[in-house]
Amino acid sequence: MRNETTNRLLNCAAFALGLAIFLIDALTTLDFAVAVLYVLVILMVALTGSMPATRLAGGASAVLTLTAYGVAPPHMDDHGHLVRCLFALLAICTTTMLALRMLADMAQRRLAEAALARSEAFLAEAQKLSKTGSIFIRFPEGTMVWSTESYRIFGYPMTEEAHLSRIMPRVHPDDLAEVQRTHAAMLGGAPLIELKHRLRMPDDEVLHVHLVARRTVSEGDRHEYVGALMDVTETVRTQQALQGTMAELAHAARVATLGQLAASIAHEVTQPMAAVIACGNSALRWLRRPQPNLEEAADSVEQIVRDASRATEIIQRIRAMARKSAPKYEQIDVNRLVVGALEVVRRELQDHRVAADLDLAADAATIRGDWTQLQQVLVNLMVNAAQAMATMPGRRQLTVSSRTTPDNAVTVIVSDTGPGIPPEHMTRLFHAFHTTKSNGMGLGLSICRGIIERHGGTIDAESPPGGGASLIIRLPLLSGDGSGADLRAQVPSAIPIVGSSTASHG
């Protein structure tokens, strides 16, 4: 409303000024170009920002100039009067063209500013929705520029000056050393920076953030970085919840596996207990003789100790599989892990008349992992293989082999002589809830894959046309610093990202 009033006043003033100029030019015989003053009229109209009005003012000024020349009283110097008229027309035309160009430039600038404002609004909304802020950092000064979302992530008002010193108090104490190492790398001019760390806010809320920055300017010890700061708190919490759910599923699967092996477990425990009873009775007989045979009695007692220890080991092994506890990562001998898993399913193999063959060439190969989880994987694969061969005529052979590979990894292969895996099921073998068993849940191989991938390894399957199937596990060997590499980034998996089971291999 205020602009409309101002524009109206300018137009009225321009009209009045133009009328006055025309009357003076037409009714007087002054010796200077009065019509040049129409330039003021054009500029006043141009101030309103209207291009049509400016064109009209320019045209009207030219017409009034010519009209005044025609009706003006005779001049002593007619040639001078004509020159002054032409000079005024030139000034009017030039001013009109310049004013129109200025208005066109202003219109383009307003359009550009409006587009920029829309773009900034869209970007701010996108950053808010994606919880991603943009940042600019200059070293060694430590000066920064933050977007609105970056201010929100760091928990500072927009009135605060963005600076590296504002970030350090927010860094979680446990991540401070890593942030300082990244700071030193940026001072040194590292071309690309990626950092995941936590922020502890004033209200003790912990945020998980992911910083990715790229160096854009490097001159001597002066470096500038442009980057993105992502608030990944919800993602991390979702992953933690997913890991908790997977741990619950893995525990349930272990308990279910123990249920399947109940008969085998009972037989495993019964054998040493029966031996304990037999050796105890034998020891009593040796001691109750008229002349006690202490040597034979001692041998029987030693046998009792051995059988009792064996029963204790069996029970401890079962309790470890049934126990619900957080993963405990430790150094594990691969061959010992395979032998231990085979002991768990030995009776199951006997019930299915399956011959087991071990080919453990990975001597002294050690990995870092959770014994119970990895044993669960091997037990599941061996039980699946035994069940796959249950209806097969002829010899049923289970082969478990271990090999080290040149890429600092160890492979464990569980092979059977069963019917194999149909090609149409191969791509979905590790997908959750996919099974061909009448009583299967389709979670076994999915859980196995999750466990192996959390250990930095891969699991794959092969089934030759002639029958049989091989499940191949690759795990990183323990390095000198006590850690293992992640093989998933080295070997592309042919299996989809979520898991399954099929054809008695689930």
Tens of pLDDT along 357-395?
Answer: 899 988 888 999 888 788 878 888 888 888 888 878 778
Residue 388's pLDDT is 82
- In angstroms, rounded to a whole number, what is the distance separating the alpha carbons of residues 281 and 287? 10
Q: CB–CB of 92/58 below 8 Å?
A: yes
- In angstroms, rounded to a whole number, what is the distance separating the alpha carbons of residues 446 and 64? 91
Length of the chain: 506
pLDDT digits (tens, 9 = 90+) for 91-142: 889 999 998 999 888 888 888 877 777 776 776 676 677 778 888 988 888 8
Q: CB–CB of 455/475 below 8 Å?
A: yes
Residue 412's pLDDT is 93
- In angstroms, rounded to a whole number, what is the distance separating the alpha carbons of residues 475 and 344? 22
What's the pLDDT band for 254 if we cut at 50, 70, 90?
low
Residue 493's pLDDT is 33
Domain boundaries, the chain: 2-123, 131-231, 239-326, 328-506
328-506 matches 131-231 in CATH topology: no
- Let me know how many helices (H) and strands (E) the chain has, helices first: 14, 12
- CA distances to 121, 206, 231, 257 from 179, rounded to whole Å, are 31, 16, 16, 45
- Give percent above pLDDT 70 in the chain: 78
Place of tokens 């025309």: 22
Enter the tokens of residue 330.
């430790």
- Structure letter (DSSP) for residue 250: H
Q: CB–CB of 397/414 below 8 Å?
A: no
- CA distances to 249, 272, 403, 475, 485 from 407, rounded to whole Å, are 32, 43, 12, 11, 10
Residue 287's pLDDT is 84
Place of tokens 């890429």: 407
- In angstroms, rounded to a whole number, what is the distance separating the alpha carbons of residues 16 and 19? 5
Give the CATH superfamily of 328-506. Answer: Histidine kinase-like ATPase, C-terminal domain (3.30.565.10)
Q: Is a pLDDT exceeding 70 seen at residue 316?
A: no
In this prediction, residues 278-306 reach a mean pLDDT of 82
- In angstroms, rounded to a whole number, what is the distance separating the alpha carbons of residues 475 and 411? 6
Beta-bridge mates of residue 458:
474
The CATH number assigned to the domain with range 131-231 reads: 3.30.450.20
In this prediction, residues 390-411 reach a mean pLDDT of 87
Helices 294-322/371-388 angle, 10° precision: 90
Q: Check residues 81 and 501 and name the one with the higher pLDDT.
A: 81
